[in-house]
Amino acid sequence: MLDVHASHESIHTWKGFFIHIAIIVIGLLIAISLRDRRVFPSSPVVAETREAFGASGRQHPALR
């Protein structure tokens, strides 16, 4: 997993502040756009995993 850290210097100008906010907004837009994207929708592994989790939920309804 990629670790992302904020810069160690503090923001002293409005320009720096708006750049910081713009980076956050761009990251959120990317995350929202990729949230519902399906990379391998027809993969048999995905179907098998969904079926296994569904069966597990039916066997243990208290875990929901």
pLDDT in tens, 5-27: 666 777 789 998 899 899 889 98
> How many CB atoms lie under 10 A from the CB of residue 20?
13
Please tell me the number of Cα atoms within 13 Å of 12 on its side-chain side.
2
Tens digit of pLDDT for each residue in 18-56? 998 998 899 888 888 877 776 556 667 777 887 888 776
Lookup: tokens for 18: 């708006």
Task: Tell me, yes or no, if the pTM score tops 0.75.
Answer: no
> How many CB atoms lie under 10 A from the CB of residue 53?
10
1 pLDDT band (50/70/90 cuts)?
low
